[in-house]
Structure 1
Amino acid sequence: MKKIYVLHENNEWTIHLHHRLDELGLPYEMWHLDEGMIDLSSEPPEGVFYNRISASSHTRNHRFAPEFTEAVLAWLEHHGRTVINGSRALRLEVSKVNQYTALNTAGIETPKTLAAVGKKQIIEAAEKLDQPSFITKHNRAGKGQGVQLFHSLSALSDYVEGAAFDEPVDGITLVQQYIEAPEPFIIRHEFIGGKFLYAVKVDTSEGFELCPADACSIEDMFCPTNEPEGSAPKVKAKFEILTDYYPSFIPAYEAFLASNNIQVAGIEAIQDQDGNVYAYDVNTNTNYNSDAESIAGTFAMLELAKYLEAKLNGLHLTT
């Protein structure tokens, strides 16, 4: 029997999809790819294979999940199986260098970025960037891992040479132009089936941890805004789904996804003081925040489950 197969390495990030697939009565299996074995001489089962492997897998002690998943995807694609977010998507998921070059190829602007291996080279990259403020981040990351803001070369040098330096799992540190937004937020654009679904405004006033998944959320998702003394504080959601939002660059984002064979993704973008928009992260293991969705009345995991159902129903069995 043909099924939906979900390739992943984090049970907490698949539970909502699990529930939606159950809700629709769809046949499925969860393939946890932290460890495993494949017989390359065998044929994969019939079905739709949805890849949800994350660049941050190593932070959960699943160091080689992306590498093993790449092997599984090669096996599936060799046999012509229907794969959602296949090997090209995985390649972009685990490398921001690949993301930025692909975005630039599609004519989408990204912050100026230098990639460096070695502590001396990180300092040299910042010197060459020649910006008053800049950030460092890991090439293979997730959940804001490795993101640090610096306002001087001396501060960067102290960090790189100090005990707090966070070595990237692939050895590549990015030194990037700091985009200062007029207000502390970014916009994450969600796509299913390569088409724009909705955008979520993410409050960045508390830092760079921007993962919208419920499992990533800070203990208290809401923070008080400043109110006059004596008045009851209002609360501001960290994640807010926007209505009547369709900027002119959405078709370019969709074209980028199509050209890179990515069906499900979240693209994060930030606007600078002059109104220029920069895309700076492509997340092909996209997650959704249930509190924001409940307020907006739209549910991306349900839409994703329906998309997988449509792909499953459109299969023509090879045997």
Structure 2
Amino acid sequence: MRRSVARLALVGLVVSLALLPGAVAAETLVGGSVQVGPEETVGDTSATGATVVVEGTVDGDLRVYGGSVRIAEGGEVTGIVRAYGGSVAIDGSVGGNVLVYGGSVRVGETADVERSFGAVAGDVTLAGRVGGDASAVAGSVTLAETATVGGSLNHVGDLDDRGGTVEGVIQDGRDLALGPPTEILAAVVGAALVVGDLLLGLILLRVAPRFADSATETARAEPVYTVGVGLAAAVGALLAVGVLAVTVVGLPLAVGGLLSALVLGWVARVYGQYVVGSIALSYTEYGNRPLALLVGVVGVTLLGVVPYLGTLVSVVVFGVGAGVVALGLRSLWRLASQRRGGLADI
């Protein structure tokens, strides 16, 4: 079982690292303030938890996580501006797109955004030029008299149109029905989840078949304890990510921790479904691991659509899976500690 747990830990680490989009390679400035002076030119700039003021030139892309951005009049970003979790004020020029996920966003009268503009924010004000489409999901969207949008204006939220120029059309996203019917979309998503769970389950069974057997034995011998450990581990992981996220230095770690938690959560759900299927088949003459996985995934999915009961089943099944994963990782940690202790005695 210990060798199987080690394999599982390696698979989880590889998947987690694959989901981090360049986080290791990117150079990030953390905290304080970042200022590009009027006569200064810098390359691609990335900052976390910082106040960024551009009065000169950023010759490349500008990325800011958890901080505020101000591109002053005369300031220039030749590439794309991406901001997450803070306010943005643009009075200078941007050669690429502007993408903002934050509090308030203002494109001032002297601003010139060459390409498209997109924001998910509390409030958005457009008073300058946007060369392409402008899209905003916000509580309020203000289109000032001085604003010029070269494409269409798409908004979700209250629009205050003060006479700005929009070359395309103005569309309220709440009035559009661009997607397929909800029932069809739900069916497609549900089928994709089932296929994904089956594929991941087959990989886990291939990598660590003995761990799957041990998981079933553990859950059957101590069901309440296993579920309790699993739910406690899940809550603890979310709390740890939350604590890291509120600190400037810990924000990048929180992103990685959240992605790792999501991967482990998916693995836990699949193991929970496998355990359910394995226990169900134990009352029959069949004992095939892939068949147990199929029975568990399909059975739990069908029960999941039953009101109230489905929610309860999903929580219990996840708790079982998270419990066996947490207990397996604890066994791996103990094994590693024993080996370190043995080496220290030599």
Shorter-chain-normalised TM-score: which range?
under 0.3
Higher relative contact order (CA 8 A, sep 6+): 1
* TM-score, length-scaled by structure 1: 0.25
Q: Rg bigger for which structure?
A: 2
TM-score (norm 2): 0.24
